[in-house]
Amino acid sequence: MTRFQKALAIVAAVLAPLHASAQSFPSHPITLVVPFAPGGPTDRVARDLAESLRKPLGGATVVVDNAAGAGGAVGAAKVAHAAADGYTLLLHHIGMATMPGLVRKLPFSVEKDFAYLGIVNDVPMTLIGRPTLPASNFKELVAWIGQNKGHINLGNAGVGSASHLCGMLLQQALGTEMTAVPYKGTGPAMTDLMGGQIDLMCDQTTSTTAHIEAKKVKVFGVTSPTRLATPALREVPTLQEAGLKNFQVSIFHGLYAPKGTPPAVLDRLHTALEAALRDPDFIQREQALGAVVAQDGRTQPEGHRQFVAAEIARWTPLIKGAGVYAD
Ligand code: ASP
């Protein structure tokens, strides 16, 4: 054997197991990490997505793991530091773009520690209140806020979360301060809102629609630029319409793997994601909850990466300008 042939044989021996593992992938269940508590909107999207990924992944089970804490940073760190074999994935939302501005010491890099698999959907938020709140529309709510300064509790899913971001923008727009009450996700916060332990919260329509319909919470506005077509939310004004100029928040969810995952495994996961995004059941389930399944260039890994980078560039100065940080 020449030196060159020997070198080739070594390279082939090193690559063989990688190739074999990519071909047989997945051979056991995949864990989909949700960085928030069960029962909230990210959890809801993850469970729907897990169901729709099963078929394109050859029947593999996708198990949802709620690794909640620190506004979504705990779950993201778990995936950033997991084995890069495709068996641990992350479903995260706009927090991937807001955490770099909001959290001073993130235990991972959004830009360097993840392989981007594609954007899943876009979801507006709703401003909701406890059922006993003595206001039935946004105008009355503003008056009530004015009369109760210093006594209003605003729930959120921790610093860096979507509810935190929306709540921060709301306080800024109204020029008032409320007491933030952090939870490990808006699932448990919703229980307290319905029970009257907290007064207000922003949350994605994927979680709030059913509770609004059942009149378990009051709704004061949606954060989308136009009213939503979803029957349960059709009558709800946009917050802009209600008087908050330029108030728009749209929450995107995206799928990530740890950086260093073999390209063939990433390919397999991305192809499965594309199939899930075309699944009529998934599209319909999301639509009924006010969400829109992504169908554009952001569903591609590079489109997803560029979109998150642009969102980081958009949100960081706004967040820093508002002077809100966490360590
Ligand atoms: N909606 C939450 C947030 O505010 C997270 C969740 O529980 O899904 O970020």
E strand or H helix that includes residue 47 = helix 41-54
Among candidate residues 222, 240, 263, the one where a domain is terminated: 222
Question: Same domain for 149 and 171?
Answer: yes
What single DSSP character describes residue 33?
E
Render 64-101 in DSSP notation, one character per residue: EEE---GGGHHHHHHHHTS-SSSSEEEEE-THHHHHHH
Ligand 1 nearest-atom number relative to CA 34: 8
List the CATH number of the domain containing 56. 3.40.190.150
Task: For residue 288, tell me if it sits in a domain.
Answer: yes
Q: Last residue of a domain, which of 174, 207, 222?
A: 222
Residues 208 and 276 in one domain: no
In a domain, 102, yes or no: yes
CA of 12 to the centre of ligand 1 (A): 46
Domain co-membership, 308 together with 160: no
- Where in the sequence is the domain holding 131, given as residue range(s)? 124-222
What is the reported pTM?
0.90
Question: Token pair for residue 79?
Answer: 């995936």
Pocket of ligand 1 from Cβ distances under 6 Å: 36, 40-43, 156-157, 161-163, 185-187, 203-204
Where are the extended beta strands (E) located within 207-296? 218-222, 250-258, 292-293
Residue 245 domain flag: no
Mean of the per-residue pLDDT values for the chain? 91
Produce one character per residue of 306-315: b if its CB has 16 or more CB atoms within 10 Å, e if not: ebbeebbeeb
> In 3-state terms, what secondary structure has residue 235?
coil
Q: What is the pLDDT of residues 53-74, one digit of tens each?
A: 999 999 999 999 999 999 999 9
Instruction: Say yes or no: 130 and 119 in one domain.
Output: no
Q: Which atom of ligand 1 is nearest to the CA of 44?
A: 8
Residue 307 reports pLDDT greater than 60: yes
CATH number of the domain enclosing 204: 3.40.190.10
Q: What is the pLDDT of residue 15?
A: 46
Whether 128 and 204 share a structural domain:
yes
Q: How many Å lie between the centroid of ligand 1 and the Cα of residue 295?
A: 23
* Range of lowest pLDDT (1-15, 202-216, 308-322): 1-15
Helix (H) or strand (E) holding 270: helix 263-278
Statement to judge: residues 109 and 129 lie in one domain: no
Overall number of domains in the chain: 2
